[in-house]
Structure 1
């Protein structure tokens, strides 16, 4: 039996529409046709020897300008989208949800392209929605999922892309997405702990600087006028504070400009990689903070390594990807050297033993992992261990710095108060004698 679907035109429609036609044959054949039609396009379906028992048509409205941009301008659409992505931020929670739902849908048998489109439709984060749609367009045009993610390195880091690329090659996407959802959450908690530990001392010191500036610029000059009118012989500490105050009155604006200039200069210098290396080297030599930073970086190193190796990435490639995902340049260059040493046949344990920035325990455990072919499991245990250390240090960081901060703040405020109170006591004594 033969049937022919008549031709039809979409020339009069105002919006592009996607048609999914499911033809269930009689008795055994089945034809599924998906066509994307735009204005002035005619679709003709010729289906021979098929009894069309059921035809389902699902029409989905697509933004006309966006769809035409994708279809007609190709890479230009992607480049234009990236050009307007500056300053956008995707929350960690959004990424975690993306990985979790993607793993569920892929496990349910939904293709990766359809999965990305479904997530783009359901997410409420406007920028990430655009990113997902751009990624789905790239996949439709033949790019691998991991290659499409590479267009957004500020959203999907090197380790995440490496994990997904390995999972694509081995067919273990579900497992990879589940692992990434967990690791993204753990990394976020770790960074939050570090930020929380640093906020307290930074906030206190900023408060002290602002308070001292206000006292010296506006309060002390008013009091010093009283001292001058009383013709008092000022103590040395008072003369020093008054002299400092006069400096702030005359050059206060220049001081602020100088502070801003120093901040901007340091920011620009920090952007130069070779100079930033020395900033990171100095950070690793600051007491208390250096232990904190080393534990944090070793946790990130071990977790990235464990995740990549578990996903099927080779050790050398895992090290190369991990190096790019580590922020501290001192550690990054050491890990890059480690990858070269492993390529040349040197064991990871022997290479790491020459570095003062990796703990003896980490070196020993990595050596055991190499000998037992359990590097991924050992690295995961190390990551959990150093993560807990960072949590403990972060919780105690404020307590460790509190005595130092109180001493500095108390010393500065105490000097100013003492400088003011000594002459004031002389003035009160003179008044009483009268």
Structure 2
């Protein structure tokens, strides 16, 4: 395994930028080998070297652990049809949509996360640096408070390094769990995560079909991690229509209806594009509504902790004042 130093030394490869820039250069009639020579990125330089010794672009990309199989397949088809610029443009657009969606979710979640982190830091600081001298001062005045005593006993029984380490491990474990796509999508979309997974699948299928890939071949390329693709292929091979195969695969009625329309009109790509426009609009609004309460909820938690600490401080102070 590579150590962290080796990983950090590796230059970052921006795949979206790679496809976007190259599509514009190709549109202007500049050859790919000339384009790659302009780059200072070592990955692109390695790609250029392989092209110069006679490799095709798709074969050269396949040797690098940077591109998905379906992206390589689209490039291979584009080499055969001569529309390399179009393939680059379609892939860059797909990557851009994925990035914007991730950024939207991160933008929504980052403020509540920072607010909660600040709350935890403030609570730990108050627990270990404010409460002990306050407790000692009130003890000299023979004033006792159940809440203050409970918090004081807690900080005595659990040293700050232990609590900080436990919180760090909890946060690290939570981040690791959230990196799993299914878990993350379930937390973000709730019960709608299955429908969002369906939309993601159709988006990838649409990209392949638009790039000239046959339907059966496209389903084969998307089989990785999706048992539903296998069932769809098997259904079509048995002579069933795509609509019937989708119905048996428990896909949404909306998708089934759009595909049914495509079988009547003979234009599957257009129907899938219409379906995607409808679903993307729905999920943008659904995400906005679902996350609308995150910010006020974070403020409520912060307020509750501040109230707890205020009560732990003010109530004993009031008792001490009454005894004077």
Give the TM-score band, short-chain normalised: 0.7 to 0.9
Q: Hey, what does 1:366 align to over in structure 2? A: 259
Contact residue 189 and residue 287 of structure 2 kept, 8 A: no
Q: Hey, what does 2:80 align to over in structure 1? A: 169
The answer to whether structure 1 residue 88 and structure 2 residue 11 are counterparts is: yes
Structure 1: any 5+ residue segments left out of the alignment? 1-82
The structure that has the greater radius of gyration is 1
Q: Hey, what does 2:214 align to over in structure 1? A: 314
Contact residue 103 and residue 175 of structure 1 kept, 8 A: no
The answer to whether structure 1 residue 188 and structure 2 residue 99 are counterparts is: yes
Once the 2 structures are TM-superposed, how far is the Cα of residue 104 of structure 1 from its aligned partner?
0.9
1:89–1:388 distance in 2 versus 1, CA, 3 Å: farther
1:401–1:264 distance in 2 versus 1, CA, 3 Å: closer
1:152–1:314 distance in 2 versus 1, CA, 3 Å: same
Q: Hey, what does 1:104 align to over in structure 2? A: 27
- Aligned length in residues: 319
Once the 2 structures are TM-superposed, how far is the Cα of residue 313 of structure 1 from its aligned partner?
0.8
Q: 2 CA distance for matches of 1:311 and 1:159?
A: 10
Q: Hey, what does 2:3 align to over in structure 1? A: none
Q: 2 CA distance for matches of 1:184 and 1:270?
A: 21
Residues 35-184 of structure 1 mapped to structure 2, 5 A cutoff: 87-91=10-14, 94-105=17-28, 108=29, 115-123=31-39, 126-127=40-41, 130-154=42-66, 156-184=67-95
Deviations 1:84-128 (A, max 9, x none): 8975323366224324224314xx3x5xxxx233222334xx33x
Q: 2 CA distance for matches of 1:201 and 1:188?
A: 21
Tell me: higher relative CO, structure 1 or 2? Use CA pairs within 8 A at least 6 residues apart. 2
Contact residue 163 and residue 176 of structure 1 kept, 8 A: yes
1:257 to 165, 183, 187: 165
Once the 2 structures are TM-superposed, how far is the Cα of residue 427 of structure 1 from its aligned partner?
1.2
Q: Hey, what does 2:130 align to over in structure 1? A: 219
Contact residue 323 and residue 336 of structure 1 kept, 8 A: yes
Q: 2 CA distance for matches of 1:86 and 1:336?
A: 40
Q: 1 CA distance for matches of 2:125 and 2:176?
A: 29
Once the 2 structures are TM-superposed, how far is the Cα of residue 167 of structure 1 from its aligned partner?
1.8
1:424–1:317 distance in 2 versus 1, CA, 3 Å: farther
Q: 1 CA distance for matches of 2:97 and 2:260?
A: 25
Q: 2 CA distance for matches of 1:84 and 1:430?
A: 64
**TM-score when normalising by structure 1:** 0.63
The answer to whether structure 1 residue 411 and structure 2 residue 304 are counterparts is: yes
| Larger proportion of strand | 1
Q: Hey, what does 1:241 align to over in structure 2? A: 151
**TM-score when normalising by structure 2:** 0.81
Q: 2 CA distance for matches of 1:362 and 1:84?
A: 42
| Larger proportion of helix | 2
1:221–1:150 distance in 2 versus 1, CA, 3 Å: farther
Q: Hey, what does 1:426 align to over in structure 2? A: 319
Q: 2 CA distance for matches of 1:238 and 1:85?
A: 47
Structure 2: any 5+ residue segments left out of the alignment? 1-5
